[in-house]
Structure 1
Amino acid sequence: MAKDKPPKTKGVPNKHLHSRSTFLYQAATYLTLHAAALDANEAPDSAQSSGTTGSRHRLALQLASDLQNVSRKGQVRLSSELKRTICKTCNTVLIPGRTATQTIENESKGGKKSWADVLVVMCTLCGSKKRFPIGAQRQEKKSERQPTQAQRSLSEKSAEEPTSIASPMQMTTDQDSTPG
């Protein structure tokens, strides 16, 4: 007699890893924003508040590093939007205007090609840059693409032609061997 299998649970596998990674990201973002706001508001002669700001910033870096480690160790893929907001070099949460600067570059023939725009995000802490294409549409996967008219006509022509074509060497030897 067959054993009864337990019912499959619906939902996200490794839910605890997803919840942990979202918490780490939210905490790192909060501490980065809070530390940046304190940096902007503090007076230059107050040494006590700068110590707490530095510790908040170090804690934010540690949390972002822990986020990377949790996702690697648990083999959980982070979303591309989340990965774009974390510096690969120093693990800073990249917030435009606070910890990162954003510029748009177009180095194509004097900027004439509008689809060649590139968003450059530079980390203000370590100076590393991330480049993301904008304006260009991503090509579909090969399995999802429809063949173009030129590809269809080529495949039809190749189907009509004979499969064995004699080489010029074979043709000359055939002609030489025929009685004449």
Structure 2
Amino acid sequence: MVKARAPKEAKNTKSHLKSRIDFLQQAADYFQQIHQQESSTKEFSDSQSSTSCTRHEIESHSSCIEKDTTDAEPANAVGQSSSASLLSNLSRVYVSHMRGVSLKTQTRLSVPVKRAFCKRCDTLLASELTCKHEVRNDSRGRRKPWADVLVKRCLTCGTEKRFPQNTKRSKKLSERHKDLAQGSREKSPTEAS
């Protein structure tokens, strides 16, 4: 009365799910890059308009005042800010969908993919744009170099993710017990003689 073994799944049975997860990740990256480019070009254009305004002030004060009083520029700025926020929200939605698909299908995300976004708000973590990196060592006087921890702090929600940066990893508990057992065996013959 032996149970028949269930046939194993074929090698590529979840390939459509993995490709869907990859697509969602690429789409989130794409929209995040567009959001970053728009925000950087907006800052650049704002700095250019302020410098051009100061040049015009020197030449003729009235032309600068006319530029500032036009109603077309504030409406355009509102449209740009709303589209930029939509793009950042769209990338967060895609990351949320990616996490949902991986949870529902029980497929694991790779470590670099999991480290690329915030667990709390699903923002893609781009260094110096959406997160800050710092290496902390909470030991006294930073005496223990193996206690270094890389801390990524999300600028959107303030969540911190910690990643150990130690090169010397501690042994697993089972390995430590084996070493203790071997050490006691080696000592016992020398003590007996």
Task: Settle same-fold status: TM greater than 0.5.
Answer: yes
Tell which has more relative contact order, 1 or 2 (C-alpha 8 A, sep 6+).
Answer: 2
Larger radius of gyration: 1
Task: Confirm or deny: 8 A CA contact 1:115 1:134 kept in the other structure.
Answer: yes
Tell me how far 1:81 sits from its aligned partner: 1.3
Aligned residues: 152
With the length of structure 1 as denominator, give the TM-score of the two structures. 0.73
Tell me how far 1:29 sits from its aligned partner: 1.3
2: CA distance between counterparts of 1:14 and 1:142? 35
Question: In structure 1, what is the equivalent of residue 33 of structure 2?
Answer: 33
Label 1:133 to 1:74 Cα distance change in 2 as closer, same or farther (>3 A).
Answer: same
Structure 2: runs of 5+ lacking an equivalent: 1-7, 47-73, 189-193
Deviation sequence 1:62-117 (CA, Å, 0-9, x none): 00000010000000011111111110110011111111110001111111211110
Correspondences of 1:1-180 after superposition (within 5 Å): 11-42=11-42, 43=45, 45=74, 46-139=77-170, 147-148=178-179, 150-155=180-185
Letter paired with 2:184: L
Question: In structure 2, what is the equivalent of residue 161 of structure 1?
Answer: none
Label 1:142 to 1:112 Cα distance change in 2 as closer, same or farther (>3 A).
Answer: closer
1: CA distance between counterparts of 2:104 and 2:126? 26
2: CA distance between counterparts of 1:153 and 1:110? 34
Label 1:157 to 1:144 Cα distance change in 2 as closer, same or farther (>3 A).
Answer: closer
Identical-pair percentage: 36
1: CA distance between counterparts of 2:112 and 2:176? 25
1: CA distance between counterparts of 2:175 and 2:182? 16
- Give the structure with the larger helix fraction: 2
Deviating beyond 3 angstroms after TM superposition, the runs of 4 or more aligned structure 1 residues are 8-13, 136-147, 155-158
Q: Secondary structure at the match of 1:26?
A: helix
Structure 1: runs of 5+ lacking an equivalent: 1-7, 159-180
Question: In structure 1, what is the equivalent of residue 63 of structure 2?
Answer: none
2: CA distance between counterparts of 1:146 and 1:17? 42
With the length of structure 2 as denominator, give the TM-score of the two structures. 0.69
User: RMSD of the alignment, in Å?
Assistant: 2.7
